[in-house]
């Protein structure tokens, strides 16, 4: 019976581990154009990643966050404002901020606001999925391109078809969606 409910209400209701969560619960704590800083602390390091509404959408659809898709069942608690412990690493959210209130000082040099989200240099590295390059249309983006991609929040994509050669600028929200591996239309 629960399985039937989850299948019919999959856009509104999900099971994370043993916890039944509504999308509304998570969205209530992280409205559109808002972000929080998640601090990951273990014996060896303390690093931060910014989590915004698009990260919530990605987590809801794919059960992936911070580039990980395994052992992330309890991560829904971050979106509710609670700390989570995964493999001896404690992850705690900060307060939630409107994106327009984030300053360069708050973001640090490894994060930029692009569109409605915060992109970190690690987000661009994750797009490579462990490889040296990734391809969009007829264009390869390689390790040398990481810094310019991060600084500009744009990529120039070349396409060759029966009409000839076209160059498209992919920027802002479309750029971010490509980094997440989503298909975009240009």
**pLDDT for 98-148, tens place per residue?**
999 988 888 888 888 877 788 777 777 777 666 677 777 777 777 787 777
Instruction: Dump pLDDT digits (tens) for 60-77.
Output: 887 778 777 777 778 888
Tens digits of residue pLDDT in 19-42:
777 888 888 888 888 999 988 888
Average pLDDT over residues 160-173: 79
Q: Where are the domains of the chain?
A: 2-102, 131-179
Bigger pLDDT: 121 or 45? 45
Q: 3-state SS of the chain: helix, strand, coil percent to 5? A: 35, 35, 30
Parallel/antiparallel/unpaired status of strands 133-136 and 111-114? unpaired
**What pLDDT does 149 receive?**
77
For range 10-21, the mean pLDDT: 72
Provide the mean pLDDT of the chain.
Answer: 80
Is pLDDT above 60 for 94?
yes
DSSP of 119-153, one letter per residue? EEHHHHHHHTTTSSEEEETTEEEEGGGHHHHHHHS
* Ramachandran region, residue 66 (left: φ > 0; alpha: ψ -120 to 50; beta: rest): left
């Amino acid at each position: 019976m629960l399985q039937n409910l989850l299948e019919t209400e999959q856009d509104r209701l999900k099971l994370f581990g043993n916890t039944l969560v509504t999308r509304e619960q998570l969205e209530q704590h992280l409205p559109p154009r808002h972000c929080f800083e998640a601090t990951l602390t273990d014996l060896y390091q303390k690093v931060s990643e910014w989590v915004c509404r698009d990260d919530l959408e990605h987590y809801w659809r794919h059960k992936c966050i911070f580039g990980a898709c395994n052992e992330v069942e309890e991560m829904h608690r971050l979106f509710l404002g609670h700390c989570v412990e995964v493999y001896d690493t404690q992850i705690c959210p900060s307060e939630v901020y409107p994106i327009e209130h984030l300053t360069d000082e708050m973001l640090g040099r490894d994060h930029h606001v692009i569109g409605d989200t915060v992109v970190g240099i690690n987000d661009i590295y994750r797009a490579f999925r462990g490889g040296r390059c990734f391809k969009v249309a007829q264009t390869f983006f390689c390790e040398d391109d990481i810094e310019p991609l991060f600084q500009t929040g744009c990529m120039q994509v070349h396409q060759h078809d029966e009409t000839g050669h076209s160059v498209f600028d992919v920027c802002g929200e479309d750029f971010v969606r490509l980094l997440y591996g989503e298909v975009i239309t240009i």
